[in-house]
Structure 1
Amino acid sequence: MELGRYGVFGRAAVLTPERARMIESLGYGTIWQGGSPPADLSHVAAILDATSTIKVATGIVNVWTADAAEVARSYHRTEAAHPGRFMLGIGVGHPEAHAAYRSPYQTLVNYLDVLDAEGVPEGRRILAALGPRVLKLAAGRTAGAHPYLVTPEHTRQARNILGPGKLLAPEQRVVMEADPAKARAVGRPSVVKPYLGLTNYTSNLQRLGFTEQDVVGEGSDRLIDALVISGDGATIARRFEEHHQAGADHVAVQLIAGPGADLDAGFSRLAQILGLSPAS
């Protein structure tokens, strides 16, 4: 499934159907609904209804909160209404968030088994994958992987594990601010809460070479600068190109902005920086 070179990642409150139309007009290829969308996929349907060509993906449906059989029914309903425009992203979430969080790998396998039985094609589902084991599962049973809160180095490692021919679509945060101190002030909260309190993410960051001191408290400047790109247009464009050079097929942009910021202007400026062509 072709997602385009760049997409936009955000929660339903930000990625409204109205904003989705604007994002589509700027030339982005995919909208990623973040958070843990309910099994009925109602917001996905609303975005698809409001647009005409842009793809929509979930980033991600949580296996602990969304029943697999109901998700499969929602997938088929969505596919029937908008053929070829929906990618089902699924993941196991975080042990800190779910009291039932046990045997996450096997739970994910069981979830995929249900999707198989319900006829959801492997090529139309993608896994939230950080570590080697789940990346290998993504390669074997889905279209590929959608890593979150990662660096181009993780993208390189993920591509080596996935192998050729599998979709790799990492998320990348960006703050449209040239001053480093101001950029960190905007970007740091989006990393600290909740992600520096979640072992799945802190363990992955330490696998990438960050120290325990980097990932505690408010996070080091080194960590924030690595996870939230900012600077002038050339600097921002270079980070996204680094993901592609490391093996990404698609990068999901998460625009981080302060209170009262003009998000539409931010998405428009970023589209220009990334060299997107407005939809005709």
Structure 2
Amino acid sequence: MTPTLGRVGIWSPSFAWNTPDAAEAAAELDELGYGALWLGASAPELRQPAQLLAASRRMVVATAIVNVWATEATALAAAFHEVARTYPDRLLLGLGASHAPSVAALGRTYTRPLRYLAGFLDTLDTAPEPVPAGSRVLAALRPKALALAATRSAGAHPYLVTPEHTEFARGTLGAGPLLVPEQKVILETDPATAWALARHNLSYYLALPNYVRSLRMVGFSDDELTEGGSDRLVDALYAWGTVDEVAKRITEHHAAGADHVAVQVVSAGTDVHARTGQPARAQWRALAEVLL
């Protein structure tokens, strides 16, 4: 059975939770009413999801994502069940084929990634303790990946996308599968400050070909995908301004077909390049007043 996520959750990089207040922050997220915490670049041992589930009472913790090139499927299945037995219906396994540079850093060759992912799912299905399709979602952006998510998992978790992509993804998935886009938000009303934060964050992702191809697919030109991105690209990917202004973007994703939106706060306190940061607790509180 697929865990119940609610309409809105929080996406946060796993490295931001290596702080003394991690358990307290997870408990607060739970009390605020967010349906899920999505942990970016989750380690396959699943120790961190287990710790944050222990600190909370109700919310789902989802991996976003476990890189399938970084672990063996049978070991991941065993780790999943070890956690899921203690916290039933609260762990969602997000999986993905990652990106060529990340896989190369593991000493692996990034070839036919969707076939590799499908084979990984085959092993999860036949492991001594199989991971049910309803307990996993796939990182998916383009048609073939979305089709795999629709047929082999509970649904898709697209990252770095717009409401227009959400509409496309829903049309590709059909009415049944779960659709959980990630949306970056910046609670900053000064355009120069917001764009500077966004471009610093975005430059990390524009170096990854899978995201570049996805953004081309939804209509952005090569000129818009260089040097930190065009103004149009930044405004499309980053909802910035007041809490009410950024909340409109979440509504747009729901209107386009999203079941649940994973909201990622981008701020000066967290740097994806340096992999440093902390839970964005003040921003999560402010967002909860409108989103929940």
TM more than 0.5: yes
2: CA distance between counterparts of 1:234 and 1:170? 19
Match of 2:74 among 66, 69, 76: 69
| TM-aligned CA deviation for residue 160 of structure 1 | 0.5
Query: How far apart are residue 165 of structure 1 and its match?
Result: 1.5
Q: Structure 2: how far apart are the matches of 1:203 and 1:142?
A: 23
Distance in 1 separating the partners of 2:257 and 2:23: 31
Other-structure match for 1:215: 225
Separation (CA, whole Å) in 2 of partners of 1:271 and 1:51: 17
Residue 83 (structure 1) aligns with: 88
**Which of the residues 167, 170, 176 maps onto 2:181?**
170
Contact 1:174 1:230 in 2 (8 A): yes
Q: What is the DSSP-based 3-state SS (H/G/I as helix, E as strand, rest coil) of the residue aligned with 1:213? A: helix
Confirm or deny: 8 A CA contact 1:38 1:66 kept in the other structure: no
- Go from structure 1 to structure 2 and tell me whether the alpha carbon gap of 1:73 and 1:98 turns closer, same or farther (over 3 Å shift): same
CA–CA distance in structure 2, aligned partners of residues 43 and 237 of structure 1? 29
Find 1:191's aligned residue among 183, 197, 202: 202
TM-score using structure 1 length: 0.94
Aligned to 2:273: none
Say if 1:167 and 1:249, in contact at 8 Å, map to a contact too.
yes
* 1:259 paired residue among 269, 277, 285: 269
- Three-state SS of the structure 2 residue aligned to 1:165 is coil
SS at match of 1:197: coil
RMSD: 1.4
Deviations 1:68-108 (A, max 9, x none): 11110011111101011010000000012223211101100
- Identify the residue that residue 7 of structure 2 maps to in structure 1: 5
Cα offset for 1:39?
2.0
Q: Which secondary structure does the structure 2 equivalent of 1:10 belong to?
A: strand
Runs of 4+ in 1 over 2 A off after TM superposition: 12-18, 259-263
Aligned: 1:273 with 2:286: no
Q: Distance in 2 between matches of 1:264 and 1:111?
A: 36
**Aligned amino acid, residue 113 of structure 2:** P
Query: 1:169 corresponds to which letter in structure 2?
Result: V
For residues 279 and 122 of structure 2, the distance between their equivalents in structure 1, rounded to whole angstroms, comes to 43
**Residues in 1 aligned to 2:103 and 2:247: alpha-carbon distance in whole angstroms:** 37
Match of 2:33 in 1: 27
Residue of structure 2 in register with 1:18 after alignment:
24
Give the match's secondary structure for 1:14: helix
- Partner amino acid, structure 2, of 1:31: L
Q: Which runs of 5+ in 1 are unaligned?
A: none
Q: Deviations over 1:103-156 (max 9, x none)?
A: 101100100001111211110100000000010010011000000000000000
Higher alpha-carbon deviation: 132-141 or 253-262: 253-262
Any idea what SS the aligned residue of 2:9 has? Answer: strand
Structure 2 residue aligned with 1:38: 43
**In the TM superposition, what whole-angstrom CA distance separates every residue of 1:227-264 from its partner, at most 9, and x where no partner exists?**
11011233211110000000000000100111399922
**Residues 63 and 111 of structure 1 are in contact (CA less than 8 Å); yes or no, is this contact kept in structure 2?**
yes
> Do structure 1's residue 131 and structure 2's residue 142 form an aligned pair?
yes
TM-score, normalised with respect to structure 2: 0.91
8 Å contact kept, 2:16–2:279 = no
Q: CA deviation at 1:18?
A: 2.2
Cα distance in 1 between the residues matched to 2:182 and 2:126: 30
How far apart, in 2, do the equivalents of 1:258 and 1:38 lie? 24
Task: Give the conservation status (yes or no) of the 8 Å contact 2:34–2:59.
Answer: yes
* Structure 1 Cα separation of the partners of residues 198 and 253 of structure 2: 19
Within 2, Cα distance between the matches of 1:165 and 1:102?
Answer: 30
Aligned to 2:274: none
Aligned to 2:113: 104
Matched-pair contact (CA < 8 Å) for 2:179–2:257: yes
